[in-house]
Every structure is written in structure tokens, then in C-alpha cells.
Amino acid sequence: MKVLVYVCPAKNICAKFRGDVHYALKNAVAETGDYYYSAHQFRAAREEPHIKDYFEPKPIIESTRIRSRVNSSSRSHPQSDLSPSQDTFLANTMGPNRRADIAFKSSSGDDITVLVDVTTVSPIVKQCKGYIPGRLADGAVKRKTDDYNKHFTHLSTNSASLWFFAIETNGVFSKEARKFCKIMAEVSGIPNVIQTIYQRLSVAIQNSIAKQIYKALNQYTSSERNLLHAPVVFT
């Protein structure tokens, strides 16, 4: 049921569902990091960080093909009428203001800044056969990494490091997310805490999904279902 809502053809429902689940994951990672990084005075910043503040953007290269398409699409807007901001937008699909979701910063300001970009993916999205746990999450990490590498010179420096935290809606973590969790566990100094971290984040996702299913069944169902007062059943 939960993954069917995640890929619902009604875009307004699907977007809200995915947005709320993403928000839940972002908060869960931030709160978990705050707790386990606290021994080293690391905390999540309140605002989402601009990537360009930490990594140098690659020079924007004009695309002749894009320009020719723009010019041919409308005779009333010749090439000379394109403003610099339009050029930038067309040449760099990521845009100059891309943000990560979380920035863990040291209270002293002297240590490395840990940036995190979170994402969720449903195993049903690709309608994959022979599903292998974690493969879609790893694929999401690779896509994000490739996208960022197209537009920024580095994703890790002496002062900042960017991590992609992907989790499938059934609770399976990507390899990079698991590595991030292990670092939290090691930094905390608490013995055998890694499973607690996994559980904490997985439960946050499952709770968010359950809430969204309940909303979908009660607010976005057909009139026929509402008339029948179909019960909400969670398994």
C-alpha cells in the first residue's frame, strides 16, 4: 500500500507524499546526527546550505545546441535578447543555488562541515524484477553524485564533505548511508550503537509513511470509497 501511494499517478498526491517523507528523513538524520555528534560539538545548522558556499562551481560553458533551439523556437526572442541569467539557467540545469538538506557544523567553526543530501526511493518505482535490497538506493546515490559532479569541481575538500543519504521506502539503506551511520556510531563512542541508529532512522521513515497513507485514504480517496466507509487497515 505505502509504495502505491508513493507512485500514485495523481501528481498532487504523489508530490505531497514524497515531500513529507523526504522532510521526515531530513529531520531524522539531523536529529540523530545532533545526538551522536554531540560529544564533538557538532550540530545541524538551521538553514539548508548552499553548495556553492562550500564547493567551487564549474565554469558555465555555453551550449550552441541549446541556444539554437531557443532562437528557433521563437522569432520574437533573438539570441541577443537572452539575458545572462537566462544563459546561466539554460547552460546549467542544476542552477547556481543548489542546496543540500543538512549542514553539520562544529560550534568552534574550525572543523570540517559535513553536508548531507537525503533522498527516498520506492522499490516499486521501477517495477523491477528480481529486486535486490539496496540496489535502488545505491542507484539514487550514483545519480545524485553524477549530477553534482557535472556542476561542481569537488564534493569533498579539507573544509567540507558532501554525503548522499538514500533509503528505500521499505527501510533499506544505501551503502553510503550505512557508512554515514557507522561514522556517527564511531564518533559517539557508544558501544554497539549502530543498530540503534539504523532502527531510529528506519522507524522515522515508516512512521511518516504510515501517516501519509492514513491521510491519503481519508482525504484523497474516491467518493465511492468514502460512502462505503472502507476501514483503514495497516499490515
Over residues 14-62, the pLDDT tens digits come to: 666 778 888 999 999 999 999 999 888 889 998 999 999 999 998 866 4
Residue at 111 is within a domain:
yes
Give the pLDDT mean for 147-161.
92
Residue at 76 is within a domain:
no
Instruction: Please determine, for residue 149, whether its predicted confidence score (pLDDT) is greater than 50.
Output: yes
Question: Range of 158's domain?
Answer: 2-57+96-222
**What pLDDT score does 144 carry?**
94
Give the pLDDT mean for 4-19.
66
**What pLDDT score does 165 carry?**
97
Total domains in the fold of the chain:
1
Give the pLDDT mean for 208-218.
75
Residue at 195 is within a domain:
yes
Q: Of 163-167, 211-215, 218-222, which has the strongest mean pLDDT?
A: 163-167
Return the higher-pLDDT residue of 27 and 216.
Answer: 27
Q: What is the CATH number of the domain that holds 105?
A: 3.40.91
Kindly list the distances between the CA atom of residue 226 and the CA atoms of 216, 218, 231, in Å, as whole numbers in the listed order.
12, 8, 10
> Across all residues in the chain, what is the average pLDDT?
77
Residue at 64 is within a domain:
no
Residue at 187 is within a domain:
yes
Residue at 81 is within a domain:
no
Q: What is the pTM of this model?
A: 0.74
Residue at 176 is within a domain:
yes
Over residues 70-121, the pLDDT tens digits come to: 555 544 444 444 344 444 433 445 556 789 999 999 887 778 999 999 999 8
**What pLDDT score does 230 carry?**
47
**What pLDDT score does 220 carry?**
59
**What pLDDT score does 98 carry?**
86
Return the higher-pLDDT residue of 225 and 171.
Answer: 171
Instruction: Please determine, for residue 177, whether its predicted confidence score (pLDDT) is greater than 50.
Output: yes
**What pLDDT score does 224 carry?**
43
Share of the chain above pLDDT 70, in %: 67
